[in-house]
Amino acid sequence: MSMNLVTLLYLVASICFIQALKGLSHPTTSRRGNFFGMLGMGIAILTTVGLIYKLGAELATAGIGYVIVGLLVGGSAGSIMAKRVEMTKMPELVAFMHSMIGLAAVFIAIAAVLEPQSMGIVLHISDPIPTGNRLELFLGAAIGAITFSGSVIAFGKLSGKYKFRLFQGAPVQFAGQHKLNLILGLATIALGLIFTFTGHYSAFTLMLALAFVMGVLIIIPIGGADMPVVVSMLNSYSGWAAAGIGFSLNNSMLIIAGSLVGSSGAILSYIMCKAMNRSFFNVILGGFGGAADAGPATGSSEQRPVKSGSADDATFLLSNADSVIIVPGYGLAVARAQHALKELTEKLVHNGVTVKYAIHPVAGRMPGHMNVLLAEAEVPYDQVFEMDDINAEFGQADVVLVLGANDVVNPSAKTDPKSPIAGMPILEAYKAKTIIVNKRSMASGYAGLDNELFYLDKTMMVFGDAKKVIEDMVKAVE
């Protein structure tokens, strides 16, 4: 395989990746985006395997065998995990994937430092690694290590299965935490620069150790409510780690793919920060998340009265409405109730009711989470609207049906300047004429706050599993 052909195929793969990002920017083109992404990655993998095979034949090595085994093991594990993962566990899977990318970057950097001649960085093992390559290896390895350990903590917090304190949803904070992070950060940079200008392996090793520790420390003070931002941030980190290693290996495919992932992850983090009223720079430095989770509840849900009703009561209100807006949330995803919801929507539309879906940018726990859930049930895209496009319509809506959503519809964000979520953009469901809220209980959301929406005079609570409640509504619709 000639280098000209390799360059051409890498260019084609890069174009596919760009088209993938473009397609994934909207639900209507997301499947096409996924196709381009898989096609581009397939081309990149096969091209790289062909290149390794050519180099292996020239050097009489058996490295291609290990590459094929790695592809089979990794591909099989990925296929099994993707097939088994539940929609509500998707953020955990994404965090796990980020950790693997970071760890791969670390391993490649270590291999390049120990045997630079095998990576094509130098001609002979006795030759010193060029200063520019050492800087690239330092950056790629440091970012990869932070990504790996940080993603492991994020995975544990999202999973909620582990009793180890660092994996709990509540933020872990201690005195002098930010100062310690600053000292470790400066020490990591200093050791990286020492390695860059001197080539001392000990400095590289210590730098890696501190980077692993930093990954843990910048994520543990972040609570469960802010995990969506953390996942998108780590997505960006993993891309920059790959790009840094790509420069060291002079691999244009790694540079382009890593840069695309890094920049798109940064943009996504900015969008998420805006949607949750967070500071983008605080996210990057790991210095946020505690306030929203540590804040006291604005009221006691055990003592304050609420109006409750049955599925039949809710159906009566929906059937007699002219316009209905549905706000799907995490509770809908947990119950796997999207197919029943689509059936309910079809019956209401058939009876002349105008139905629209309102999606908050956070959308459960990750952007696009609810979009994917509704797309799985083949809900028409022209019924699904983003927050900025539909907020003006809540005031004219006869009924708003909130299914398992909590913080994203909490009016305290707009009415209480002392609330921990004050200023966070929300879906303005409180403006509707009538509000129906389906939840299992009066438990608070990820931010740990009582929701004032539940106590409004025009709000009716319908308690129970979302799927069971919606199925009962479907039966009750005439």
| Residues marked as catalytic | 407
Phi, psi for 79 (deg, rounded to 5)? -65, -45
> Which of the 8 DSSP states describes residue 328?
E
Which two three-digit tokens encode residue 148? Answer: 């790996």
Is the backbone of residue 435 left (phi > 0), alpha (psi -120 to 50) or beta?
beta
Which two three-digit tokens encode residue 472? Answer: 């009962």
> What length does the chain have?
478
Q: Helices in 115-226 by DSSP H: which ranges? A: 131-159, 177-198, 201-219
Answer for the pair 235, 261: CB distance below 8 angstroms, yes or no: yes
Q: 388, exposed or middle or buried, with CB in 10 Å at 0-12, 13-18, 19+?
A: exposed
Nearest alpha-carbon partner for 293 in 365, 367, 221: 221
> Which of the 8 DSSP states describes residue 336?
T
Residue type, 105: A
What gap in Å lies between CA 269 and CA 197, rounded to an integer?
33
Answer for the pair 403, 370: CB distance below 8 angstroms, yes or no: no
Q: Around 282, how many Cα atoms within 13 Å sit in the side-chain half-sphere?
A: 16
Residue type, 365: R
Whole-number Cα distances in Å, 470 to 51, 64, 328, 333, 355? 55, 54, 12, 13, 15
Phi, psi for 120 (deg, rounded to 5)? 80, 15
Answer for the pair 261, 234: CB distance below 8 angstroms, yes or no: no
Point out which residues pair with 358 in neighbouring strands.
385
Point out which residues pair with 460 in neighbouring strands.
436
Answer for the pair 104, 239: CB distance below 8 angstroms, yes or no: no
